[in-house]
Amino acid sequence: MNQAGPAGTAGPPRGGPVIALDAMGGDHGPAETVAGAVAAVREHGLRVVLVGRLAELTGLLAEHGAAGEVPVVHAEDTLAMNEGALASWRRPRSSVAVACKLIRQGDASALVSAGSTGGVVATSTVRLRTQPGVLRAALAVVLPTRPRPTVLLDAGANADAKPEMLVQFAHLGAAYAHTAHGVAEPRVGMLTIGAEPGKGNRLARKSSELLAATASEPPRLDYRGHIEGHDLLAGEVDVVVTDGFTGNVALKTVEGTVRFAFDAVHDALTSTRRARAGALLQRKALRGLRESLDSESTGGAVLLGLNGTVVIAHGASRARGIERACMLAADLAASRIVDQIRRRVTPPARGTSWLHRLGHPDDH
Amino acid sequence: MNQAGPAGTAGPPRGGPVIALDAMGGDHGPAETVAGAVAAVREHGLRVVLVGRLAELTGLLAEHGAAGEVPVVHAEDTLAMNEGALASWRRPRSSVAVACKLIRQGDASALVSAGSTGGVVATSTVRLRTQPGVLRAALAVVLPTRPRPTVLLDAGANADAKPEMLVQFAHLGAAYAHTAHGVAEPRVGMLTIGAEPGKGNRLARKSSELLAATASEPPRLDYRGHIEGHDLLAGEVDVVVTDGFTGNVALKTVEGTVRFAFDAVHDALTSTRRARAGALLQRKALRGLRESLDSESTGGAVLLGLNGTVVIAHGASRARGIERACMLAADLAASRIVDQIRRRVTPPARGTSWLHRLGHPDDH
């Protein structure tokens, strides 16, 4: 492996966690990831290591006049955007796998990738492993609710989950809301159908019962009960817990519906000459709104529960999306979210907590 | 039971199926349901029987000058809006139960209710029973996609489903798209995560495999594979199949996100004086759009697979929503959707179809 000083021989201006950026991931490839890395380093003083094909990345850095500014670690292989979970076994030298190696070696604290979600989740889960006591890592996304954002998890890492996993997801999400959004005591809800206890499918019912029964034990949780699809964007809780299948369907339904509603508004606003005249006056206001709802602005999804911070940027990310994902990763790593999760899933009192007693399921 | 001629002694102007309207259901009660029934009879020539408290309904009819125009069948009891599945056992004399009795007796073909979805589903499932060969009734809703609407089912009748049920839901949905939207060969998709075969949770994977394996056998089905949340509103298929938990979460997420997006657009359009001036010019265009996306305009959800047509209007329905639900029920009953479903689930060829062989599960 051709290495050019992972922890910054030509170090960035200030300290802080080192971000290993998968430079090869994403629909737009290295040109955008390198531009994003340069912006993250120059404008925000982050410490970023680019991981990918050395020659290609060095050339792109030179175009930015940043040849010595951002270190590069060579990885000869890449994950294709359509590669899924099996990718992790097939490609030990992929840029994602090499970035994970940097974290395991202590040369980086966080991974950022705009690669395929399935490939990054599988690769980083296999190579970074779940934290002690964590049954499964969960993918967390941030919904643009007001006044505070809402964390939705699992957004797709575990299509078939068990109640014990969902209970842990509640704690992973609470740690995230605490760390990333500064919420002292995050309110947690369970995504299900029907607001009353006893409603929902088997998984949601059992998970909700277990959460309600254990919320007052340490690690304490402010469990608020059921949340319906109607209220996913109502900002009534700080964390919404669900399995990876339901969460992924819900997330993508939100994204598809926002697009649908905007297209419908656009059509309505340009349907008559009178309406078109109005639209001109509003172009700026609508553009601002579209940007604020744009998923790129949230920085990406976060895989919680591994021995290292993992941020998965949208596949369609441009330089600005990569830059924001790096900022999110640096924030999470700097505020030691991994330690916060460890405190929640491995409480101090002699391992007597029910969460500790749950242990690992057979298939893990 | 005090009965005033179910099949119309003071008969409406023309023939067609008789609609038994639960006059007591809905958030706004009999004032709106009676007004809706009067409009359905007077403006569309439908045959409607009001079911509920005789004295109250007769009084309301008199206010419309329609005392002899719409027959009333007395039911002394009502389902409360917050009553769920157990309601059907507790209230044999509810207006929904009595309306089902009219269908069983052959005095009506369809039930319309704006009562609680859980209560109406449970009551009508117990009292009308599933059609021969149908494993479970499914709740179908219509999404406002273009150029054609999309049928989503199950939208909440079966929170825990089996693959064989989802395969049947595909056929129920195809019968609905054919009957209500005139689609000759409805395209059917499975709501899941990830577009490739093999993606999804266990239920979606097995259901999709079963659908793909049987789509070419009679009753033939144009199965198009996986649909993600992104594409729920893209109009790429005519029928989207899923279990009742996922379907209900997806439907309510669509509704919540449309509301969220409109509120955001409204805020953006009135954020500055310049934008406000534009909004004035567009008020009409936006109002039209909001109406077209308004769930009332679709007439309500339809419970498919029972021995009778069941339309569940939104609880918040006003007279116009009730009127449209009656029109939908009349259309479905007139085009004999029950027979169409029978032909799909009980094919002619000596019961050799796999659908026939599936039989009933133990818990049914």
pLDDT for the residue numbered A242: 98
Based on the fold, state whether residues A280 and A156 are members of the same structural domain: yes
Based on the fold, state whether residues A18 and A92 are members of the same structural domain: yes
Based on the fold, state whether residues B201 and B174 are members of the same structural domain: yes
* Number of CB atoms found within 10 A of residue A194's CB: 17
What percent of chain B clears pLDDT 90, i.e. is strictly above it?
A: 66
Phi-psi region of B315 (alpha: psi -120 to 50; beta: other; left: phi over 0): alpha
Contact with chain A for residue B209, Cβ under 8 A: no
pLDDT confidence band for B299 (50 / 70 / 90): low
Contacts of A265 in chain B (CB under 8 A): 261-262, 265, 286, 289
Of A64 and A294, more confident: A64
What percent of chain B clears pLDDT 70, i.e. is strictly above it?
A: 83
Of A347 and A312, more confident: A312
The order of strands in the sheet holding A301-304 is: A72-74, A47-52, A18-22, A110-113, A309-312, A301-304, A138-143, A150-153, A239-241, A187-191, A222-227
pLDDT digits (tens, 9 = 90+) for A40-95: 999 999 999 999 999 999 999 999 999 989 999 999 999 877 776 676 777 889 99
pLDDT of B362 higher than 90: no
* For range B239-251, the mean pLDDT: 97
CATH of the domain at B216: 3.40.718.10
pLDDT for the residue numbered A2: 40
Can you tell me the distance from the alpha carbon of B14 to that of B297, in angstroms, rounded to the nearest whole number? Answer: 25
Based on the fold, state whether residues B262 and B288 are members of the same structural domain: yes
Pairing of strands B72-74, B301-304: unpaired
Can you tell me the distance from the alpha carbon of B59 to that of B50, in angstroms, rounded to the nearest whole number? Answer: 13
Cβ separation of B286 and A271 shorter than 8 Å?
Answer: no
Can you tell me the distance from the alpha carbon of B277 to that of B312, in angstroms, rounded to the nearest whole number? Answer: 41
* Residue where a domain stops, chosen among B299, B323, B355: B299
Domain annotation covers residue A351: no
Domain annotation covers residue B352: no
Cβ separation of A250 and B251 shorter than 8 Å?
Answer: no
Residue in the block written with tokens 């004086």:
B273
Which range has highest mean pLDDT (A51-60, B186-195, B215-224, B260-269)?
A51-60
Give the structural domain span for B207: 138-299
What percent of chain A clears pLDDT 90, i.e. is strictly above it?
A: 66
Domain annotation covers residue A350: no
CATH of the domain at B61: 3.40.50.10950
pLDDT of A354 higher than 90: no
Can you tell me the distance from the alpha carbon of A192 to that of B251, in angstroms, rounded to the nearest whole number? Answer: 12
3-state secondary structure A57-100: HHHHHHHCCCCCCCCEEECCECCCCCCCCCHHHHCCCEHHHHHH
Domain annotation covers residue B112: yes
Short-list A274, A260, A321, CA closest to A295: A321
Interface test with B, best of A121, A154, A190, A245 (most B CBs within 10 A): A245
Q: Which of residues 283-322 of A touch B (CB under 8 A)?
A: 284-286, 288-289, 293
Based on the fold, state whether residues B328 and B233 are members of the same structural domain: no
Based on the fold, state whether residues A85 and A230 are members of the same structural domain: no
Q: pLDDT averaged over chain A?
A: 86
pLDDT confidence band for A220 (50 / 70 / 90): very high
Q: Total domain count for chain B? A: 2
Based on the fold, state whether residues B283 and B168 are members of the same structural domain: yes
Based on the fold, state whether residues B143 and B110 are members of the same structural domain: no
pLDDT for the residue numbered A133: 92
The order of strands in the sheet holding B110-113 is: B72-74, B47-52, B18-22, B110-113, B309-312, B301-304, B138-143, B150-153, B239-241, B187-191, B222-227
pLDDT of A8 higher than 80: no
pLDDT digits (tens, 9 = 90+) for B95-148: 999 999 999 999 999 999 999 888 899 999 999 999 999 999 999 999 988 888
Q: What is the ipTM of this complex?
A: 0.86
Can you tell me the distance from the alpha carbon of B170 to that of A173, in angstroms, rounded to the nearest whole number? Answer: 36
- Burial class from Cβ neighbours inside 10 Å (0-12, 13-18, 19+) for residue A281 reads buried
Can you tell me the distance from the alpha carbon of B86 to that of B64, in angstroms, rounded to the nearest whole number? Answer: 35
* For range A5-31, the mean pLDDT: 75
Contacts of B193 in chain A (CB under 8 A): 156, 159, 244-245, 248-249, 252
Domain annotation covers residue A349: no
Based on the fold, state whether residues A7 and A45 are members of the same structural domain: yes
Task: Look at A101-110, B74-83, B133-142, B344-353 and tell me which has the smallest mean pLDDT.
Answer: B344-353
Domain annotation covers residue A281: yes
Contacts of A243 in chain B (CB under 8 A): 201
Q: In sequence order, what are the beta bridge partners of A228?
A: none
pLDDT confidence band for B8 (50 / 70 / 90): very low
Contact with chain B for residue A235, Cβ under 8 A: no
